[in-house]
């Protein structure tokens, strides 16, 4: 008798991502210095729509309704490029805002890195869609990227030990980042411990954060952070959004949807 697979870990993980995302965005919308703009509204809407779509897909998998799951996959095909484009757009907006303020963008490497890594996970998920468990884990890995960023902003907003209270406490940014990275790595290892063969995408997504931090360190050592910020800020927001959307859609169509082989006529 086959045992029915349990997806409590996946649903618990998605619930935690949603809660941390709400907490992370809370100060942006309701904090003392809250100044959300259209970019933030759009990014939040797309992010939560993506999380809802992932959750619904896992519900269908749990019910073994694979036909509906494949049908809803068309929505994933459209939402994936939209998510990638909105992340790229926010990266450019953040860089432009930091450059205009004269303070720079301390999140520039993480923003650019997460955008590219999100795209990688999406492409791999569609390229490996026939391996259902791995396909699902890769898509779930995109939520790990949300979790790492949300944890960072949640810690500096609500945990006194990580709150920024002046220049003398700027080191707490790094502490909050490390704490969030460790938490993500622990979750990734939990998925790997349960299923080594198919759980690695969650760990890979968690490893992206320390990788980005290493890249940031190397760029800062060479004095290239300002150049990167200026380069990203010089990009047109409409062109970035449209170009990212079209490029990701083209990649997903090329790697995830392959035309059926033509049926050869029988030999006479």
Give the pLDDT score at 103: 86
Burial-class residue 25 by CB neighbours within 10 Å (0-12, 13-18, 19+): buried
Give the pLDDT score at 256: 56
Phi-psi region of 105 (alpha: psi -120 to 50; beta: other; left: phi over 0): beta
Q: Is the Cβ–Cβ distance between 84 and 115 less than 8 Å?
A: yes
Q: 38-61 burial by CB neighbour count: b if 16+ within 10 A, else e?
A: ebbeebbebbeebbebbbebbebb
What token pair was written down for 90?
């926010």
Burial-class residue 142 by CB neighbours within 10 Å (0-12, 13-18, 19+): buried
Domain boundaries, the chain: 8-255
**Which residues of the chain form beta strands (DSSP E)?**
none
Q: Cβ contacts of residue 141 below 8 Å, gap of 6+?
A: 121, 201, 202, 204, 205
Q: Is the Cβ–Cβ distance between 245 and 84 less than 8 Å?
A: yes
* Residue-by-residue pLDDT tens, the chain, 268 positions: 343 457 899 999 999 999 999 998 887 788 777 777 888 899 899 999 999 999 999 888 888 887 888 888 788 889 999 999 999 999 999 999 999 988 888 899 999 999 999 999 999 999 998 898 999 999 999 999 999 999 998 998 889 888 888 777 878 888 999 999 999 999 999 999 999 999 999 999 999 999 999 999 999 999 999 999 999 999 999 999 999 999 999 999 998 555 434 334 433 3
What token pair was written down for 170?
């700027």
DSSP assigned state of 31: S
Give the pLDDT score at 22: 93
């Amino acid at each position: 008798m086959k045992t029915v697979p349990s997806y409590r870990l996946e649903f618990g993980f998605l619930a935690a991502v949603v809660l941390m995302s709400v907490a992370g965005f809370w100060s942006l919308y309701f904090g003392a210095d809250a100044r959300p703009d259209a970019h933030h509204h759009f990014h939040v809407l797309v992010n939560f729509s993506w999380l809802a779509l992932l959750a619904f897909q896992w519900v269908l998998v749990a019910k073994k309704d694979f036909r509906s799951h494949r049908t809803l996959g068309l929505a994933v095909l459209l939402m994936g490029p939209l998510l990638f484009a909105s992340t790229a757009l926010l990266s450019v907006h953040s860089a432009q805002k930091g450059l205009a303020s004269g303070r720079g963008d301390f999140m520039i490497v993480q923003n650019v890195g997460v955008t590219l890594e999100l795209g990688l996970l999406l492409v791999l998920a569609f390229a490996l869609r026939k391996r259902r468990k791995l396909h699902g884990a890769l898509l779930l890995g995109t939520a790990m990227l949300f979790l790492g960023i949300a944890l960072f902003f949640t810690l500096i907003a609500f945990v006194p030990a990580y709150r920024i209270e002046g220049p003398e406490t700027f080191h707490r940014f790094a502490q909050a980042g490390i704490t969030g990275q460790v938490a993500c790595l622990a979750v990734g290892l939990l998925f790997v411990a349960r299923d080594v063969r198919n759980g690695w995408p969650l760990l890979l997504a968690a490893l992206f954060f320390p990788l980005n931090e290493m890249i940031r360190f190397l760029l800062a050592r060479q004095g290239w952070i300002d150049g990167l910020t200026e380069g990203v800020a010089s990009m047109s927001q409409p062109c970035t959004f449209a170009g990212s959307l079209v490029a990701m859609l083209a990649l997903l169509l090329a790697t995830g949807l392959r035309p059926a082989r033509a049926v050869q006529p029988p030999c006479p």
